[in-house]
Structure 1
Amino acid sequence: MLLITFTDRIGSGLWASVSVLYFTYVSGLSIAQVGTLAAISGAVGIAGAPLGGRIADRFPLTRILIALQLLRATASFALLTTDHYLPLLAISAVGSLGDRASSVLTKLYATRIAGPARVRYQAVNRTASNAGWALGGLAAAAALTLGTTTAYRWLLAGDGLSFLAIALLTLTCAEPPSSSRLAADARTTPRKVRPASPWRDRMYLAFVATETILFLDDSVFQIGLPLWIAHTEGVPHGLAPLLLVLNNVMVVALQVPLARYGTTTAAARKLLVPLSAASAAGGITMALSATGGAAQAICLLTASAALFTLAEMLHAVASWELSVTLAPDTAQGAYLGVHGLAQSGQRSLGPLAVTAAIATGPLGWTVFGATIAATCALQHRLVRDRLPRSPLSVPPVTVSEH
């Protein structure tokens, strides 16, 4: 599955960095049409997470993943067949639906196959993801030096071919235990009865709402830092991509080592404290970057990027463990599908939040960091009563169960 993630992100890196340029220069869409296409396809994609999770509780997981990869491949190749707006909109929406569903089911696969090592497994998986994304982005940057329509089309075709490769690789993956099997194994340990549907579980929905805020670090790197740099006098615009490189390098180097601090539910909850501090400090250093000269601004922006990256990694560890622990064994797919709405919602809320911070000035970034910090405190209290009393993140295994 790690090779699958790596291949997936290479393809995504090829396409994500040039999609806006493709629709603009190859398909000939206007700025308004490109923006509307991205917004609508993103909105449709939101349904992919809960829909995929619900289906995964009823059918073999690997078969669903193969079907989703074939759907994503079909959408990618279909984009090559037309330059008309409405077909492009429909095809992009279908691809977005498959992307979000695939993301959630990949996490569910890791949860089922890795058992008590799921946090470390997800950390390694995320490292592979960042490495693949960086490689795909570098390949796309090299191809774009040609500046031809053919180069754009080959990048999109490369994305589609990556999905076909993933589907073939998934055929070699073992089917993980189903949710019903996991629930049967867990009956040896008494557990609190929880709602079967995440939509009726108010506590879990509140947890997902707080997660939406904690995922805002993604918009910091995609939108916030580049725009802030562009409006900070004396700071070279080339710093923005370098800070993205710093983000990727830190994740590749540190995500796995940090995972050992969140291998139990209690430890994962405690990570919300340093996560809160890193987020607040990131906002403050971003604000201070506008108060001095160019050299000071560059140093502070680099420090802010490092702090927000640390927050991102800590949140990844805590989020993986808590989102699974708070879900009943019999409905893990449905619950993780709803949890996937947090990232989808961030894609809509995030750009608004960071542009509001930029428009407000230094105070805006201070409030931005403080808001994430306060949300950490809220989530820390929110999940307290629902975490298992045992310090282990999974039910203990007896000799008879081997």
Structure 2
Amino acid sequence: MTSISAERGSGVRPFLVGMFVDALGSGLYVPLTLLFIHTVTGLPMTTVGLGVTAAAVAGLAANPVAGVLIDRFDARRVLIGTYVLRALGFAAYPFVDGFGALIVVAALVAIGDRAYYPASGSYVSVLAEGARRDRLYALMSTARNVAFGLGGLLSSAAVSSGGQTGFVLIASVNAASFAVATGCLVLSGRRAPGTSPPRMPGGYRQVLADRPFIKLVGAEQAFTLTHMILPVALPVYAVTVLGAPAWLLGLLYTLNTVLVAAGQLAVRRWQRAARRTHAMALGGAVLIVSCAAYGAAIMVPAGPARAGALVAATLIFTVGELLHATPSWALAAAAAPPALRGRYLAIHQQTWAIAAVVAPAGFSALLGAAAALLWVTLGVLLAVASVVVLRLSRRLPAGAVAAPEI
């Protein structure tokens, strides 16, 4: 089995460079999504919100379509397509002048975003195997978090110094970042290494008939909903329920990003002797503790002590996120038949698309009913998911579950 350093000539290096540049550009935009679109297009914020929601719903269809394209062509070509779509979308944002145009452009970006994940996951599964695949997933996560954090810093500088011009600059730089990422893969001059597996009949019917894998996807939905705590639930909970200052959110976000970037490879090394299902379940247990810690923060006196409680809860949440991420990706990729890996990973990644649609309204409703209800609900879902994952350790392919070969 070749090492990752030896495989760089076969696509690893251009993939990682393109992915880093892509994440750097996205970091400029994601923390300011609604404000960015509102400022660049001049449309009312309510119109922007409706347009982004409609685009997110349209993005739900991107995962299954991407899965078919990956299996029919190859992951590298589909990955290039996701970069091209998003480059076109961000280049077009400054010219949007109405609701219809907004939906079209935002849908281009949403479709590219959603299709990126099964395409990149499938490409990694071809570039490396076993322990090296786990390492590459961890390296990808590390690089993306570093680039995303740098992008966020550059975004703040662009907006503070350039005003509306700064937002237009963000759109242009983000479009350019996707163009550069496209060039990285195009200039690699080859398909993913290895021979293409023969096509298998059945398509998505076969994926849906694979009951252990579908149960794994159901468990993964609980994890992905929990991963939405930081971007969706915490801003509402911390500011409106706990009365925490808004600036604390930036600190918590930065803390999470830095620790994920710094800790991913170390956690992966620590997990390398563990079954992937057991590593995921441990991550679930830690995330349950983080939900309890967030919920308990309301009992801490307001002020520095409560801010400290939120920092502690976010630290625990970050550890759970680190423990879950790499084994989850690697388990799904290894459990899929190579000829249908695109479809399998598309179904697996659909959990993120569903979470993006469900979390904003669902989390707000639970927090509105009773602050503790959100944390109890997520804790119960995680407990069930962790038990399901452990029970699947004997039903999923043994080679996918076992500790990867070092």
Taking structure 1 as the reference length, what is the TM-score of the superposition?
Answer: 0.88
Residue 124 (str. 1) matches residue 139 (str. 2) = yes
State the partner residue of 2:364: 355
Distance in 1, Cα, partners of 2:195 & 2:213: 18
C-alpha displacement at 1:333, in angstroms?
1.1
Distance in 1, Cα, partners of 2:384 & 2:318: 18
User: Deviations 1:91-131 (Å, cap 9, x if unpaired)?
Assistant: 21122112211222111111110112111100010000001
Q: Tell me if structure 2 keeps the 8 A contact 1:66–1:170.
A: yes
Residue 315 (str. 1) matches residue 331 (str. 2) = no
State the partner residue of 1:165: 180
Give the direction of change, closer, same or farther, for the CA distance of 1:386–1:127 in structure 2 (3 Å limit): same
State the partner residue of 1:285: 293
Q: How does 1:243-254 map to 2 (within 5 A)?
A: 243-254=252-263
Q: How does 1:115-264 map to 2 (within 5 A)?
A: 115-116=129-130, 117-146=132-161, 148-173=163-188, 174-177=190-193, 180-181=196-197, 197-233=206-242, 235-263=244-272
C-alpha displacement at 1:195, in angstroms?
8.6
Residue 68 (str. 1) matches residue 77 (str. 2) = no
C-alpha displacement at 1:84, in angstroms?
1.4
Distance in 1, Cα, partners of 2:283 & 2:322: 9
Distance in 2, Cα, partners of 1:175 & 1:344: 28
Q: Tell me if structure 2 keeps the 8 A contact 1:215–1:342.
A: yes
Moved more, 350-359 or 283-292: 350-359
C-alpha displacement at 1:317, in angstroms?
1.8
Moved more, 249-258 or 379-388: 379-388
C-alpha displacement at 1:304, in angstroms?
0.9
State the partner residue of 1:49: 63
Distance in 1, Cα, partners of 2:333 & 2:74: 19
Give the direction of change, closer, same or farther, for the CA distance of 1:126–1:297 in structure 2 (3 Å limit): same
Moved more, 381-390 or 167-176: 381-390
Q: Tell me if structure 2 keeps the 8 A contact 1:124–1:256.
A: yes
C-alpha displacement at 1:231, in angstroms?
2.5
State the partner residue of 1:380: 390
- How large is the Cα RMSD of the aligned pairs? 2.6
User: Deviations 1:267-325 (Å, cap 9, x if unpaired)?
Assistant: 11111332232122111111111112123312221111111111111111221122112
Specify the SS of the correspondent of 1:57: helix
C-alpha displacement at 1:351, in angstroms?
2.2
Q: Tell me if structure 1 keeps the 8 A contact 2:241–2:371.
A: no
C-alpha displacement at 1:28, in angstroms?
2.6
User: Deviations 1:344-384 (Å, cap 9, x if unpaired)?
Assistant: 11112222343244331235423422322222112222353
State the partner residue of 2:375: 365
The AA in structure 1 aligned to 2:122 is: L
Specify the SS of the correspondent of 1:231: helix
User: Deviations 1:371-398 (Å, cap 9, x if unpaired)?
Assistant: 222221122223531231697567x9xx
User: Deviations 1:19-73 (Å, cap 9, x if unpaired)?
Assistant: 3113323323223311211111111112222211211112143333223322221
Distance in 1, Cα, partners of 2:349 & 2:284: 22
Specify the SS of the correspondent of 2:129: helix
Distance in 2, Cα, partners of 1:348 & 1:47: 13
Distance in 1, Cα, partners of 2:403 & 2:394: 14
Q: Tell me if structure 1 keeps the 8 A contact 2:37–2:93.
A: no
Residue 33 (str. 1) matches residue 43 (str. 2) = no
Q: Tell me if structure 1 keeps the 8 A contact 2:332–2:348.
A: yes
The AA in structure 2 aligned to 1:24 is: H
Specify the SS of the correspondent of 1:29: coil
C-alpha displacement at 1:216, in angstroms?
2.0
Percent identity (aligned): 26
Give the direction of change, closer, same or farther, for the CA distance of 1:378–1:161 in structure 2 (3 Å limit): same
Distance in 1, Cα, partners of 2:54 & 2:292: 34
Distance in 1, Cα, partners of 2:399 & 2:171: 49
Give the direction of change, closer, same or farther, for the CA distance of 1:233–1:327 in structure 2 (3 Å limit): closer
User: Deviations 1:237-282 (Å, cap 9, x if unpaired)?
Assistant: 2111101011011101111111134447x61111133223212211
C-alpha displacement at 1:234, in angstroms?
5.6
Of 94, 97, 101, 1:80 maps to 94
Residue 306 (str. 1) matches residue 321 (str. 2) = no
Gaps of 5+ in 2: 1-14
Specify the SS of the correspondent of 1:236: coil
C-alpha displacement at 1:83, in angstroms?
1.7
Q: Tell me if structure 2 keeps the 8 A contact 1:50–1:334.
A: yes
Distance in 1, Cα, partners of 2:360 & 2:377: 15
Give the direction of change, closer, same or farther, for the CA distance of 1:348–1:179 in structure 2 (3 Å limit): farther
C-alpha displacement at 1:232, in angstroms?
4.4
Q: Tell me if structure 1 keeps the 8 A contact 2:68–2:342.
A: yes
Distance in 2, Cα, partners of 1:384 & 1:321: 17
Judging by fraction of residues, say which structure has more helix. Answer: 2
Residue 267 (str. 1) matches residue 281 (str. 2) = no
Moved more, 342-351 or 23-32: 23-32
Gaps of 5+ in 1: 185-193, 397-402
Give the direction of change, closer, same or farther, for the CA distance of 1:89–1:113 in structure 2 (3 Å limit): same
Distance in 1, Cα, partners of 2:195 & 2:204: 15
Give the direction of change, closer, same or farther, for the CA distance of 1:378–1:60 in structure 2 (3 Å limit): closer
Distance in 2, Cα, partners of 1:119 & 1:368: 27
